Structure 1
Amino acid sequence: MTSKELLCALVAFDTTSRESNLQLITFVRDYLARLNVPCELIFNEERSKANLFATLGPDDVPGIVLSGHTDVVPVDGQPWTVPPFELSEKDGKLYGRGTADMKGYIACVLAAVPGFLARPLRLPIHIALSYDEEVGCLGVRDLISRLEGRANKPRLCIIGEPTQLQPVLGHKGKLAMRCDVHGAACHSAYAPQGVNAIEYAADLIGELGRIGQVLRAPDRCDPRFDPPFTTVQTGVISGGKALNIVPADCRFDFEVRALPATDPAEVAQQLERYAQRDLLPKMRAVDAHSDIRFSRLSAYPGLATDAQSEAAQLIAQICGSTDFTTVAFGTEGGLFDAIGIPTVICGPGSMNQGHKPDEFVSVSQLDACDAMLERLASMFLA
């Protein structure tokens, strides 16, 4: 099957993160089985989703991982002009949810398998497909824990997020947090007798803004990234029952997009210290049961692969480019890198089309990715 034919099949599976990905995983498993390639499936606890891991060639030496996530973001409320879960072609572009992010890359990898198998591979090629990347890089962690214990850990991972096939060596890490503020309700006519959870939440959000401003200092910036500093933002807030009731509860979610050299947990720790030191004493002076609680929603590390490393030099040869760059979005790359598998990001399409209505990848990008994988086999594996 060609990469376009495989992409057509992959797009037809609604693998929105809230849904199961098992139909797609079963399709890939059966496709590889017909080529005599065995697969390992790594299920979640509910067995409603699974990662897939397959090895082509010898398994007693370190090889190369070709990695991609199978889940996609929702299409709800987006003004699509084509069916999102049906591949449509027009003017050299292939439309459908996940075409760019990132089923296009997965299709190219699967299409390359017969060509890989036709060679006497001296190094193994591993195919790694994960679930729930879009909601915090959740599924791949079980797969990575299996790789960490392998005697012959892979020497390189190529994650095919859409970069227009330009080699990417770095991205920011992310920490998503939730803050629950519990105060005390009363009639708004006697507001000082209550503890207004919304007002204290607003104070915390203001403190987040002040922390964010400090992170913009020139000595904390890295010009390789855009924006070149660690960012902090509040994305969701809820609280209150009625205007004439002092609100007892307020909740807000915030995130930190951190440069690889910055630990995003430091931002959360600063905010917690501020809450404990400056806010809780005032709240509990009015009502002893007042509280501020923080909980982590998700997190993944940043990526900063050395441009002089073997991984960078390999991807440069495969891509034919040493024009290394960084991206603003996060990937599973930092998790692979954290267990000692050097990682680069390089895949067809552009994130400018990802997550949007009428998402697409160009046919020329798929063709170029097919050619890149052919070079991979020819230059390093045969």
Structure 2
Amino acid sequence: MSHSVDLLKTLVAFDTTSRESNLQLIEFVRDYLANFSVPCELIYNEQRSKANLFASIGPADVPGIVLSGHTDVVPVDGQPWTLPPFALTEREGKLYGRGTADMKGYIACVLALVPALVQADLRMPVHIALSYDEEVGCLGVRSLLKALQQRPVKPRLCIIGEPTELKPVLGHKGKLAMRCDIHGEACHSAYAPLGVNAIEYAAELIGELGRIGNRLKAPEHQDARFDPPFSTVQTGVISGGKALNIVPADCRFDFEIRALPAQDPSEVAQQLQLYAEQQLLPRMRAVSEHSGISFSELSAYPGLATDAHSEAAELLAAFCGSREFATVAFGTEGGLFDAAGIPTVVCGPGSMDQGHKPDEFVSLDQLAGCDQMLQRMLLSICR
């Protein structure tokens, strides 16, 4: 337990906010593994400013278990922290710092297990996978998975250590984030009908998004395993206009779809684009032929829906000591692992109720519970 806490203290001290490099943390892990004669592979981004890490312990010719976590954290800017975000603080059984729950606590427990893994007589390998830029669209893990696809033996199971309070999670929604740009025609507001008001047309599009979202709430589209039990649509950012007395020529808004695993979020985007093309553009171009509406993807990742009767679920239940499977509202890299043919589950210490907030923390009890879960995993894969 003290080893996990010490490692978490080191990990939290690295400012791996997604806009920053994660290389200092990755190089620390690489050197830490090298102390136990564990080689690892670094997979860099194009700028070589960030890297994924993949390491294996145990026999290479049989499918093994991936322990996966992302190294980046969300910003602390503008949040009312009462404790230093990049220094671990222990108070009343809680460990405070950015990333303690999401998800450096899990990574610390995985690294603390390495000495025991190296000494054990494993009948299947344990892989450690660390990625970058999960918080901005699950970006880094894609090149890691591409590298894994080239290997002759695929892993048997992946455990994503996102904070679930150590509850075994088999599913989450997918996400598609989109940007819509509306270009109209500016003019003096006294002659508003002679212009094309981009903000007003954006409002019509946002209203249509709301109607699409309401249709997704219909009982035939729901899945009671999720909360809320339907796919959701929401607009999160909007900007436009220069002055009150100028009809705005431009407006931009960003929206997202959080879709149940069985539903394709791109269908929502297609419905909105069809509405724009059929209902709005003809009216806009009747005033100005230069008007336009364009859509672009910001980020996307698939949902996850692992079968409760699958081998992956059975293994997780054995490691957790519980078959009370759940789902989570937030997304993970799990859907991408699953889409790559690697059965995936989610289970880690801490709660997302603390994630992304000021004074983020993980409890000592949760960290100890994660250590115990990983020890059970270790015992089960020894010869």
When normalised by structure 2's length, the TM-score is 0.99
CA shift, 1:120, in A, is 1.2
Amino acid at match of 1:339: A
Structure 1 Cα separation of the partners of residues 352 and 74 of structure 2: 13
CA shift, 1:26, in A, is 0.5
**Contact 1:124/1:381 (8 A) holds in 2:** no
CA shift, 1:368, in A, is 0.9
Structure 1 Cα separation of the partners of residues 215 and 382 of structure 2: 48
Identify the residue that residue 225 of structure 1 maps to in structure 2.
226
Aligned-partner SS, 2:202: helix
- 1:371 and 2:366 aligned: no
Q: Which runs of 5+ in 2 are unaligned?
A: none
Structure 2 Cα separation of the partners of residues 381 and 26 of structure 1: 29
Residue by residue over 1:197-236, the C-alpha shift from the partner in whole angstroms, topping out at 9 and shown as x without a partner, is 0000000000000000000001101111001100000000
Aligned-partner SS, 1:55: strand
Residue by residue over 1:67-115, the C-alpha shift from the partner in whole angstroms, topping out at 9 and shown as x without a partner, is 0000001111111111100000011111000000000000000000000
Residue by residue over 1:235-268, the C-alpha shift from the partner in whole angstroms, topping out at 9 and shown as x without a partner, is 0000001111110000000000000011000000
- 1:343 and 2:344 aligned: yes
Identify the residue that residue 311 of structure 1 maps to in structure 2.
312
Identify the residue that residue 198 of structure 1 maps to in structure 2.
199
Q: Which runs of 5+ in 1 are unaligned?
A: none
CA shift, 1:276, in A, is 0.4
Residue by residue over 1:110-159, the C-alpha shift from the partner in whole angstroms, topping out at 9 and shown as x without a partner, is 00000011111110100000000001101100001111222100010000
Structure 1 Cα separation of the partners of residues 353 and 281 of structure 2: 43
Structure 2 Cα separation of the partners of residues 315 and 381 of structure 1: 16
Identify the residue that residue 288 of structure 2 maps to in structure 1.
287
Pairwise mapping of residues 15-94 of structure 1 onto structure 2 (< 5 A)?
A: 15-94=16-95
Aligned-partner SS, 1:364: helix
Structure 1 Cα separation of the partners of residues 125 and 27 of structure 2: 23
**Contact 1:240/1:246 (8 A) holds in 2:** yes
Aligned-partner SS, 1:2: helix
Identify the residue that residue 297 of structure 1 maps to in structure 2.
298
Identify the residue that residue 187 of structure 1 maps to in structure 2.
188
Amino acid at match of 1:51: N
Amino acid at match of 1:114: P
Structure 1 Cα separation of the partners of residues 22 and 50 of structure 2: 5
Structure 2 Cα separation of the partners of residues 107 and 321 of structure 1: 23
Identify the residue that residue 154 of structure 1 maps to in structure 2.
155
**Contact 1:302/1:330 (8 A) holds in 2:** yes
Aligned-partner SS, 1:205: helix
Aligned-partner SS, 1:213: helix
Runs (4+) of structure 1 moved beyond 3 Å? Answer: none
Segment of structure 1 superposing worse, 318-327 or 117-126: 117-126
Structure 2 Cα separation of the partners of residues 180 and 80 of structure 1: 35
Aligned-partner SS, 1:195: coil
Structure 2 Cα separation of the partners of residues 289 and 149 of structure 1: 48
Amino acid at match of 2:204: D
Segment of structure 1 superposing worse, 301-310 or 76-85: 76-85
CA shift, 1:193, in A, is 0.7
Structure 1 Cα separation of the partners of residues 118 and 65 of structure 2: 15
- 1:353 and 2:318 aligned: no
Identify the residue that residue 10 of structure 2 maps to in structure 1.
9
**Contact 1:87/1:96 (8 A) holds in 2:** yes
**Matched residue pairs, number?**
382
CA shift, 1:60, in A, is 1.1
Structure 1 Cα separation of the partners of residues 272 and 149 of structure 2: 34
Structure 1 Cα separation of the partners of residues 298 and 277 of structure 2: 21
Residue by residue over 1:159-216, the C-alpha shift from the partner in whole angstroms, topping out at 9 and shown as x without a partner, is 0000111100000000000000000011111111111100000000000000000000
Aligned-residue RMSD, C-alpha: 0.7
Structure 1 Cα separation of the partners of residues 380 and 116 of structure 2: 13
When normalised by structure 1's length, the TM-score is 0.99
Amino acid at match of 1:220: H
CA shift, 1:381, in A, is 3.6
Amino acid at match of 1:212: G
Structure 2 Cα separation of the partners of residues 249 and 357 of structure 1: 35
Structure 1 Cα separation of the partners of residues 351 and 102 of structure 2: 8
CA pair 335-72 structure 1, distance change in 2 beyond 3 A = same
CA pair 243-164 structure 1, distance change in 2 beyond 3 A = same
